[in-house]
A and B are shown apart, each in its own frame.
Chain A
Amino acid sequence: MSDLLKFDLLQASKAIKNKEFSSVELTNAYIEAIENTSSLGAYLEIVKDHALNMAKISDKNISDGVSRPLEGLPIGVKDMFCTKGIKTTASSKILDNFYPTYESTVTQNLWDDGAVMLGKLSCDEFAMGSSNETAAKGNVKNPWLLCKEVSPGGSSGGSAAAVASRSALAATGTDTGGSIRQPAAFCGITGLKPTYGRCSRWGIVAFSSSLDQAGPLTRTVGDAALMLNSMAGYDNKDSTSANLKMPNLMDYLDKGVKGKKIGIPKEYTQDGISDDIVKFYDTSISWLKDAGAEIIPVSLPHSKYALPVYYIIAPAEASSNLARYDGVRYGVRKEGKNLDDMYELTRGNGFGEEVKRRIMIGTYVLSSGYYDAYYLKAQKVRRLIKQDFDNVFEKVDFILTPSTPTTAFALGEKLDPLTMYLNDIFTVPASLAGLPGISLPVGLDKSGLPIGMQLIAKAFDEVGLISTAQVLEKSAGFNFIADGAAK
């Protein structure tokens, strides 16, 4: 393994600025690592020349003494972000020929801040999935327990696998019901879903507009803060973007958790959670306590409805959002006898099974005669779920839960969609409430797979989320490296 891969984002940033090594050297190390780990299938698209050009500019900036916050740091981008001139497919066959003429706001923010683009990372098709198995180009392997062929989680499976395998210094992800936090947990890295509205959705392929939110996948909590600092910000091109100034998260690192109140929801310690995770949940609670936090039992009574609510709202929005992939203006068209025939062939061939399933569920729940019973009711329950969080956050500052009920499962293991959906049981409630959440690795289970813990904060309290997560991170001292990481 190249020595340069040992540096995490914050360390590499410092080292580059101190001219310990150049961005070109670092970028080359990552390009080599990508080749090295290509069997994982994390990358859909590698833009070597583009990356080196950006790295050269960064090196010039550094020698000119005008470096930007992410100057010269090579990162990967989930294929849900539209990248100008670089193929963007959302891991779907239907967009297999799509080269955007525009750059998403979030990725543009990153490039403006000096980050170097390595390539596009695999994900579940249109971010619909929790295993990365619905990607048109096939599975991504979790770099942990490589011989066992374990899922990296999803939908940001490629992003998580790339960061865990050290073939990207950091990566962008999107989270709709857990798509950043669950793969981060499965791959032993940090994943942060910001408050809904923190990051602009402009230029991100839409799955479920009221839930989608971009965020970073990184090696450390501090790295996540550095990434989010650049990614977030008000964007007048997204009407749901929050017109709030993002505090500089770097000013709030390592603030500790003394006197803070941590809520432990009684509903989240239910059957179906693996023993190892329960054990680390308890340990995490005591770490926070030891660091001076006050632990308070709380109740989120409507959280038990979160999954059914999510699987009505997300498919409903998706069924409408994905209507634009009709073969008329862009994407892969299958000619037909007439317009309807063309639609059926294009969409029938272009979309995978899971996407079709969700389009059908969504179409059904929005149909006249069913709308009130499903969509409208789901929206009402969504408000109750949010209300639960509002109530709890009057008493506590943060909520701690496991990120997932189990550690990573084997590829091909979860064939039944319902079982698969259950994997998001801890991440979905915060998504429905629009709250920021972070997953960070706290240990390994008996088989050697990472365990993630999730912290949830009040809306727009990313500052508190980061410093609390850092306390947990420090206590856990998770310094294992995946066996499938770049060598």
Chain B
Amino acid sequence: MNNTEKLKAGQIEGETGLWEMVIGLEIHAQISSKSKLFSGASATFGAEANSNVSLVDAAMPGMLPVINEYCVEQAVKTGLALNAQINNISVFDRKNYFYADLPQGYQISQFTKPIVGEGEVIIDSDDGNQTTIGIERLHLEQDAGKSLHDQHPTKSYIDLNRTGVALMEIVSKPDIRSPQEAGYFVKKIRSILRYVGSCDGNMEEGSLRADCNVSVRKSGEEFGTRCEIKNLNSIRFINQAIQAEAERQVEILESGGKINQETRLFDTSTGETRSMRSKEDAHDYRYFPDPDLLPLEFEDSWVNSLKASLPELPDTLRERLVADYAITPYDAAVLVEEKDYVEFYEKAALGRDGKLTANWMISELFGALKKENLTLLDSPVSPENLGELVMLITNGTISGKIAKDIFVDMMISKKRPLEIVKEKGLEQVSDDNEILKLVENVIADNQDKVKEFLSGKDKLFGFFVGQVMKVSQGKANPGIVNKLLKEHLK
């Protein structure tokens, strides 16, 4: 029996019944900062190995961390954007473990007193539904370095460029119920981070990675034992890994087994998760407050000033777009996904038909850019030109059909639509007399079809419209063509 199609996202049909997934995410977001969290070294991506390493990063004897104020600001701003509680006193702790790419022998993180406490975000699914996902906390921590095991047959190489780079770890509550929701959550967080400017959200470069905690249960039961899948760096892998892991757990539970709480890795080549280390092998991190750093303390007034400096965020922006431009909530959701989209849209829609502009931007422009593998920033069509195109349609200068041809031209030539219209003489013809001539010609040339039409074959009306449009090279105003054909086909 296969009724997969009838299952809701996040449900698994087992032998014993329907299972549901319980998912919590830990998102590691690299703060967009010139320098690292506790050292002055550059945090730029892609530099030559070990070229962005300060004495502090290399954990030379006697070196001490000094907090990067900019990173603290970004964390607080992000916390505010997540509607979360800002903790005016927070503490840095050391998380102790040995690894070759961890020079200090500990990671400076925040354990019991994070900088940001509970908050929430609203996620949008493709079907337009909204769900609220709780945020457990956000804390600041250092990234580790990179071990390269495949450069030499017997040796491992270490690159410390990433060592000490500032990360925000954003932990969700276990409120997510499907791989799809997990994806929407990551997208929403990424969008918020980009609006705030605290993280570029670039998953390919590793600026945004997620650990997924997955468990399964029968509806209404207590949470099951969870497994953590580490270090997923694309929404596709997040989807796949959660689905695969949940299915694995259902299989074990249904065959009478037990889930071991453990850390797992997702193998992108097999599409399966595999054990990395079990709870028994888990490190005892021996967390304790870092005595080299004072607690972070700030005043309400400082937090308030950061709050005031926040840009308009996706959720409020979305409401405003719906109100100001009379577009659908769905279109608004697409437009607010990225700050660049909204900025483009608002420029294009200035003084134009908002709804039509949104349609053109989302279906025509995004489609064309995707085909050309371009981002909105590289768009050959400027927002002003898109707006002009919409204006030419709404004021009757051109028909929607001609507009599509002009748009293709704009994508190549980057010209203003009005210029193209003039060059090619594409203005819509709305003069009754001019169109009447065309209508009379078409009727004269197709007497047999006229007879058929008059004897009751109503469908042929479209044929006549098409013929008139054709001879007008698409320039005839379709409304007038319709009107005149009706009058003369008698």
Contact = CB atoms under 8 A, between A and B. Distances in A.
B106 A323 contact: yes
A298 to B, nearest CB: 29
Interface string A176-212: 0000000000000000000000000111111011100
Dominant secondary structure at the A interface: loop
A363 interface: yes
B291 A210 contact: yes
Nearest to A362: B286
B96 A239 contact: no
B66 A237 contact: yes
Interface stretch (B52-60, B181-189, B267-275, B308-316): B52-60
Interface string A292-330: 000000000000000000000000110110111010111
Contact of B61 (A206, A238, A319): A206
Contacts, number: 101
Interface size on A, as a range, is: 35 or more
B294 A240 contact: yes
B103 interface: yes
Given A316-B288, A324-B59, A363-B286, A202 B64 contact: yes
B98 A320 contact: no
A239 B61 contact: no
A366 interface: yes
Contacts of A419: none
Nearest to B94: A320
A18 B286 CA distance: 58
Contacts of B287: 366, 371
A343 B60 CA distance: 17
Interface string A336-361: 00011001000000000000000000
Contact of A205 (B55, B62, B293): B62
Contact of B105 (A201, A317, A324): A324
B191 to A, nearest CB: 34
Contact of A330 (B60, B94, B99): B60
B64 A237 contact: yes
A90 interface: yes
B104 A238 contact: no
Contact of B64 (A88, A101, A201): A201
B61 A205 contact: yes
A104 B65 contact: no
Select the residue from B105, B106, B156, B293 with max chain A CB neighbours within 10 A: B105
A239 to B, nearest CB: 5
Contacts of A317: 288, 291
A82 interface: yes
Contacts of A363: 286
A98 interface: yes
A168 B55 CA distance: 31
B487 interface: no
A148 B285 CA distance: 47
A82 B64 contact: no
Contacts of B480: none
A236 B96 CA distance: 26
B100 interface: yes
Contact of B96 (A100, A104, A320): A320
A486 interface: no
B67 interface: yes
B292 interface: yes
A366 B288 contact: yes
A449 B408 CA distance: 98
A95 interface: yes
A346 to B, nearest CB: 11
A240 B291 CA distance: 8
Interface string B185-200: 0000000000000000
Interface string B39-65: 000000000000000010011111111
Contacts of A30: none
Given A239-B294, A329-B103, A206 B96 contact: no
B62 A204 contact: yes
Dominant secondary structure at the B interface: loop
A368 B284 contact: yes
A197 to B, nearest CB: 10
A209 B94 CA distance: 13
A274 interface: no
B292 A239 contact: yes
Nearest to B62: A203
A202 B59 contact: no
B284 A326 contact: no
B62 A202 contact: yes
B158 interface: yes
Contacts of A205: 61-62
Interface in B87-118: 94, 96, 98-100, 103-106
A317 B289 CA distance: 10
A21 interface: no
A363 B156 CA distance: 28
Interface string B271-303: 000000000000011111011111000000000
A339 B63 CA distance: 24
A238 B64 contact: yes
A98 B62 contact: no
B292 A209 contact: yes
Interface string B330-362: 000000000000000000000000000000000
Contacts of A343: 98
B51 to A, nearest CB: 15
A375 interface: yes
A210 B294 CA distance: 10
Given A102-B55, A326-B98, A343-B98, A90 B61 contact: yes
Nearest to A98: B61
A11 interface: no
B174 to A, nearest CB: 22
Contact of A324 (B65, B99, B104): B104
A429 B316 CA distance: 57
A237 B292 CA distance: 11
Contacts of A316: 288
B91 to A, nearest CB: 12
A15 B104 CA distance: 47
A237 B104 CA distance: 17
A322 B284 CA distance: 17
Contacts of A319: 96, 286
A239 B98 contact: no
Given A101-B60, A202-B63, A329-B58, 10 more contacts: A100-B61, A102-B55, A202-B64, A203-B62, A205-B61, A323-B105, A326-B105, A328-B103, A339-B99, A368-B285
- Can you list the 5 inter-chain pairs with the closest CB atoms, starting with the nearest? A323-B105, A209-B291, A366-B286, A210-B291, A324-B59
9 contacts: A205-B62, A209-B292, A316-B288, A317-B291, A320-B96, A328-B100, A339-B156, A367-B286, A371-B286
Interface of A: 81-82, 88, 90, 95, 98, 100-102, 104, 201-206, 208-210, 236-240, 316-317, 319-320, 322-324, 326, 328-330, 339-340, 343, 363, 366-368, 371, 375
Interface of B: 55, 58-67, 94, 96, 98-100, 103-106, 156, 158, 284-288, 290-294
